Amino acid sequence: MDLPGPDCWLNPLVRVGRSAIDGEGLVATAPIARGEVLSRLGGRLVTDAELRDLLTEAARTGTCVDTLSLHTDQNLVLPAGAPQHAGNHGCDPNTWWVDPCLVVARRDIIAGEELTLDYATITDDPEFAVECSCGSASCRGRVTGADWRLPHLQAAYGPHWVPVLTERIAVPEP
């Protein structure tokens, strides 16, 4: 794969705004067609051990680390202040991955609609877990780093996971 660049890019039709889900979110300012590129992530690559240190330090200082799993023992850490930080999880998201660092519209999006991404498609961290009240009919209530094992999610998302999870789904563990 191409290595991610140092910075994130956000489609100019998307801005950070008030979220119906939680605090701030990413909101479409105009209609966006299915398949349109919304976001390209960049940052720096760290190992799992380096990421654990960053998360420990962030917990100590009350800051936040935006990260996703790319490959085994390889994680992307977004630059501080990236607008993608505001992106919220949704259990029936309107965006998904088409490439390790590229997010596109999963369906047509109307102006004013909030963009969501299923966090389960982002991380292979078995300790990751957040409560969810996204309001979708298929809300799981709790999102975890093990949700990629759920057959109905594998069927719904096809190849639209971060690479490490796409690989795991394609080659089940013995």
- Interaction site with Zn ion (CB under 5 A): 91, 132, 134, 139
Q: Which is nearer to Zn ion, 66 or 118 (CB)?
A: 118
Nearer to Zn ion, 55 or 139 (CB): 139
DSSP codes, 58-72: HHHHT----EEEEET
Return the amino acid letter for 163.
P
End-to-end CA distance of the chain: 27
**Residues near 134 by beta carbon (within 8 Å), at least 6 away in sequence:** 21, 88, 89, 90, 91, 92, 116
**C-beta closer to Zn ion: residue 75 or 88:** 88
Listed in sequence order, the residues at least 6 apart from 48 whose beta carbon sits closer than 8 Å to its beta carbon are 73, 75
Query: CB 43 → Zn ion: shortest distance, Å?
Result: 26
Shortest Cβ 172–Zn ion spacing (Å):
26
Instruction: Give the amino acid at 105.
Output: A
Minimum CB distance to Zn ion smaller for 46 or for 134: 134
Least distance (Å) between residue 135 CB and Zn ion? 7
Dig out the tokens for 98 from the structure: 């088409």
| Residue 21 beta carbon to Zn ion: minimum distance, rounded to whole angstroms | 8
